[in-house]
Amino acid sequence: MLRKVRLILLPLSWIYAIVLATRNKLYDWGWKKSYRPSVFTICVGNLSMGGTGKSPAIEYLSLNLLKEFQLASLSRGYKRITTGYREVSLISKAIDVGDEPLQFKHKFPEMIVAVDEVRARGIKKLNEKYSLDCVLLDDAFQHRKVTPNLTILLSVYADLYVNDFVLPAGNLREPKSGAKRADIILITKCPLGLSIEEQNKITAKLRLKAYQHVFFTGIDYDKKVFSSEEKIPLKNFKNFTLVTGIANPKPLVNHLNLQNKNVKHLIFKDHHNFTPKEINQLQKEPIILTTEKDYMRLKNLIPTDQLYYLPIQMKLLQGEDKFLKIVQNSIKDYYEYRRV
């Protein structure tokens, strides 16, 4: 039924696609201005509406780039109640800076993390205050007012952008032709045992440009759950309620089912800001397991002995060294070229 309704909406999608394609062309031709930062910038984003795995991708890049470069991350701070430029600290609240930026700061305390809905302004402020080698732009693929140096596009294995339509008939934020702006395409949330043959089939569907690279990634779940006070092996963690406020909790639920965890699941919308009534209900649950992102919103609202989270990380199926060399060499080459 839903599919039939969406097909009826196709004419609206075509109109929307024309408007968005025209906007992109104006930027491509230079008729609409786009800021080119002096600091190297990496854009991480997607064509689809949410749930493509941007947070694990940002964390993967942060983990590997911090070993060699002075790094900052910048996002708009989705669903925060504040506006303007704000830097994230370890004592920040998710309601003020957004759950994902706060998650990044707690995971990488040494990294500068900031939010600003005006990305160009945020980059300028970061560049004025710090001596940076690279800024990671989170969820900025459609933010054409900034021209990044390297663009990484994410697409979910089970919901490839090449098989989708623009809103409202589909889930794409812009026409699939926008993928040509990507230097690297990451196919995310793949089965960890995805065959080379299947990877090659997907690569052929993408019709890559000569300058583009594709890599396949999966989600690796931690073997332990964490609270602010302890960590427990997942296999020993029982009798809990799963609470999620993410775009697509299905992979997590499937993983728990594979661990023989038959759990009660309370589902909320992505980036959900919990109401006092909802918090009161959650406090009645003896033990709660949630995602790392949701933990950032719940950790000051639920007693510490009730609340646990299960960390995840992005894992490249093949070509990890190649992927990292492309990113690292892009940064080094940029500054080498500027010195010439």
Query: What value does the mean pLDDT take over residues 14-28?
Result: 91
Rg over alpha carbons for the chain, rounded to the nearest Å, is 20
203 and 227 belong to one structural domain: no
Q: Is the pLDDT of residue 96 over 90?
A: yes
196 and 144 belong to one structural domain: yes
**pLDDT of the residue at 339:** 72
83 and 213 belong to one structural domain: yes
Model pLDDT for residues 241-300, shown as the tens digit of each residue: 999 999 889 889 999 988 888 789 999 998 888 999 999 999 999 999 999 999 999 999
Q: Is the pLDDT of residue 111 over 80?
A: yes
Of 101 and 5, the one with more pLDDT:
101
**pLDDT band of 55, cuts 50, 70, 90:** very high
Domains: count for the chain = 2
299 and 321 belong to one structural domain: no
Of 247 and 176, the one with more pLDDT:
176
Cβ atoms of 224 and 232 within 8 Å: the answer is yes
**pLDDT band of 187, cuts 50, 70, 90:** very high
| CATH number assigned to the domain comprising residue 115 | 3.40.50.300
**pLDDT band of 4, cuts 50, 70, 90:** low
76 and 105 belong to one structural domain: yes
What is the residue range of 276's domain?
Answer: 223-310
**pLDDT of the residue at 262:** 77
Model pLDDT for residues 120-157, shown as the tens digit of each residue: 999 999 999 999 999 999 999 999 999 999 999 999 99
| pTM higher than the cut 0.85 | yes
| CATH number assigned to the domain comprising residue 284 | 3.40.50
280 and 135 belong to one structural domain: no
181 and 263 belong to one structural domain: no
| DSSP secondary structure letter of residue 326 | H
**pLDDT band of 16, cuts 50, 70, 90:** confident
Residues written for the chain = 340
Model pLDDT for residues 220-246, shown as the tens digit of each residue: 999 999 999 999 999 999 899 999 999
What is the distance between the alpha carbons of residues 185 and 332, in angstroms, rounded to a whole number? 21
187 and 260 belong to one structural domain: no
162 and 91 belong to one structural domain: yes
One-letter identity of residue 133: D
134 and 67 belong to one structural domain: yes
**pLDDT band of 49, cuts 50, 70, 90:** confident
One-letter identity of residue 319: G
**pLDDT of the residue at 42:** 98
**pLDDT of the residue at 5:** 64
Ramachandran bin of 147, using left for φ above 0, alpha for ψ from -120 to 50, beta for the remaining angles = beta
Sheet holding 307-309, edge to edge: 231-233, 224-226, 307-309, 288-290, 241-244, 264-267
b/e for 94-115, b at 16 or more Cβ within 10 A? Answer: bbebbbbbbbbbbbbeebbbbb
29 and 88 belong to one structural domain: yes
Q: Which of 225, 247, 202, 228 is nearest to 100 (CA)?
A: 247
What is the distance between the alpha carbons of residues 306 and 298, in angstroms, rounded to a whole number? 11
Query: What value does the mean pLDDT take over residues 101-115?
Result: 97
323 and 291 belong to one structural domain: no
Orientation angle between helical segments 54-65 and 320-339, nearest 10 degrees: 60
